[in-house]
Structure 1
Amino acid sequence: MRTDQQPIRISLFAPNGRMGKAIATAAEQDPSFLISQDHGDVIIDFSAPAALAASLDRAVTAGVPILVGTTGFDDLADKRIADAAKEIAVLRAPNTSLGVALLSDLVERAARVLGTDWDIEIVEAHHRHKADAPSGTALALGEAARRGRQSGDFERARDGTGLKRQEGAIGFAAVRGGTVAGDHDVLFLGSDERLVLSHRAENRAIFARGALAAARFLHGKPAGLYTMRDVIEAA
């Protein structure tokens, strides 16, 4: 609970979606938060790429921070997020799990230490309804690996015969089916040995709890673009 005993008011941009309902449930169990659709201190958007302009406009107009948890954006969306971050605090999180935030940090460090002598492959699995692939989380993990190495093109799909792995590339594979909440494996493949860093999401509630942690971090923050790494470093 905050020292002034006033809960942080959360406005859900997509309250009837899977994540909107999960966040509402998590907020009901935490007296530090209150769902307030009309007068939020922080806006949380887990909607769809097409709705991004509307959610950012709402946040900028109200002058309140926004957590963007949607994935599958194009370059125009990236620009919109960057522009909004000049006026308000924006936290972009392809995955709000605190465990995944730590995984990203570990991936960056492993890539830095192991270098280009080790191949990197990222395998992710999600439920049958997920519309984008690779997942935003997988791509974020790839970016973490690339930061560690300071190099590496993405190989996002492979199909056919006579294929040859590009030296230094970071590869991706996506699995879709069932009700999988989200599995991510980052494989570092060296000569005669492998290092596998993994995360398993067993319930959507972990993302809801992480979203509330991000909202707590965002409350009162100055304009700027933030990530879940900022959240865990501030903990």
Structure 2
Amino acid sequence: MRRHRKGVVERLGVGTAPVLRGVMMTILFKATRSLENQIDEYLDTVSQGLIVFGEGVRHYLERDHTRFEERIKAIERLEGMADSLRRSIEGGLYGYSLIPEHRGDVLQLLESIDDLIDMAKETLNQFLVEQPFIPEPLTRHYTELVQTSIQAGEAVIVATRAFFKNLSAVKDNLHKVYFFEKEADAIGNRLKLAVFQSDELELAQKMHLRYFALHIDNIADEAESVADRLTVFAIKRTL
């Protein structure tokens, strides 16, 4: 009787092993798909944050304070969503031991991307708190600088998305980041030159306007830093 039971157990053990493996593969597949969807949503959220940042600065330059404050609330909400998604992605990477050989790189990359929306939110809040006076002739320069910095950020988000979906396309998008970062530097320099050549502004006002130009330009600089890391991470994945 015992021998019969033992045989049954052994047969069950052999038969259930493939089933258990199948269940585990299904769980891992679902976890991987869920993680991919979360990464997409995370990148979408950061991208939306950059768009809202651009709208916020535009409303400030137009002196539309109601819409400007609405944009601040919107970017704060998006920044909170991005933080929650990033933490959830981190939990998935560790909880299911997904892509363990590249986990550290992915975490660094996501944290670097998070800095983009953090800086955008902080810059809008600085506009709210400090209320810089921007003369009409300078608004065009600020608008150009904001748009170009956002383009650098958007380009690195596209490159990051490619890192997870189509590694060969990463390089195709990184050159755009470097192009827009250089353009932002050039626009920022022209803006600062126009500020300090003005005879209508006090030195304190000039320093204040320079400060905000640097804050906006920092977004493009951060996009470049993310691109540098992404270049290294992409090379490591091909080794």
Provide TM-score, normalisation by structure 2.
Answer: 0.25
More relative contact order in 1 or in 2 (CA 8 Å, sep 6+)?
1
Normalized per residue, the structure richer in helix is: 2
Give the TM-score normalised by structure 1.
Answer: 0.25
